[in-house]
Amino acid sequence: MDKKMIYIVVAVLVVVIVVGVAGVMLLNQGGNGGTTPTPTPAPVAVADATSLQFTVVDDTGTYNYYARNIGSEMDLAIQYVDATAGFSIIFDGAEHKSWSNMTGTWAEGTFTSDWEQWYPLYEGHVDSLAHWTEGDWTSTDGKTTISGIAVNPTLDDSCFEVPTS
């Protein structure tokens, strides 16, 4: 073999080796340049939520629910609107206080009796969402719809504060 042929064979071998090594490195890194892919977070089940927000519409009207600190000293706010009236009620789980506005004026309530009246309604809606994964939920009889469902939203403190003016 002459010198030219040896140079060509060596050059081809070098190219094959470089391409082979690069291919092996690329395959070992998953083809993503060595970065670790960010996993898609699994959705949080309603039962595992630490905060919730949702709207319930039934034949009596529309209820907006806001809950935070679920599982420990829960704060709960409910706003209700029907064709002619509305009201709001706020529960402070840490202080065991409640306030309601049924007539346009905020008044402090009796936490225990207010909680016993309103918490079961909230809990029933949450139980209805046990197998919910996305979109709206509608009862089997079609009379109740839960929409705007947000699991672990950051809820503004103002949702749980009695307006001062």
pLDDT tens digits, 26-80: 455 554 444 555 555 567 899 999 999 999 999 989 999 999 999 999 999 999 9
Specify whether the CB–CB gap between 119 and 19 falls below 8 A: no
Distance (Å, whole) CA 146 – CA 151? 13
Distance (Å, whole) CA 149 – CA 102? 25
pLDDT, residue 18, reads 47
Residues 6, 59 share a domain: no
Residues 149, 69 share a domain: yes
Residues 139, 83 share a domain: yes
Residues 129, 99 share a domain: yes
Element (H, E) at 81: strand 75-81
Token pair for residue 119?
């918490």
Domain annotation covers residue 165: no
Q: Which domain covers residue 51, as residue numbers? A: 46-160
Domain annotation covers residue 3: yes
Residues 135, 56 share a domain: yes
Residues 73, 142 share a domain: yes
Domain annotation covers residue 125: yes
pLDDT at 5 exceeding the cut of 90 = no
Residues 132, 53 share a domain: yes
Torsion sign, CA atoms 164, 151, 82, 112: negative
Residues 54, 19 share a domain: no
Domain annotation covers residue 17: yes
Please tell me whether residue 134 adopts helix, strand or coil conformation: coil
Residue that wins the pLDDT comparison between 50 and 4: 50
Residues 77, 133 share a domain: yes
Residues 50, 34 share a domain: no
State the pLDDT confidence band at 164, using cuts at 50, 70 and 90.
Answer: confident
Question: Looking at residues 5-19, what average pLDDT do you find?
Answer: 52
User: How many domains, the chain?
Assistant: 2
Which amino acid, residue 120?
P
Q: pLDDT tens-digit profile of 128-150?
A: 999 999 999 999 999 999 999 99
Residues 136, 97 share a domain: yes
Q: pLDDT tens-digit profile of 80-125?
A: 987 778 899 999 999 999 999 988 899 999 999 999 999 999 999 9
Residues 105, 73 share a domain: yes
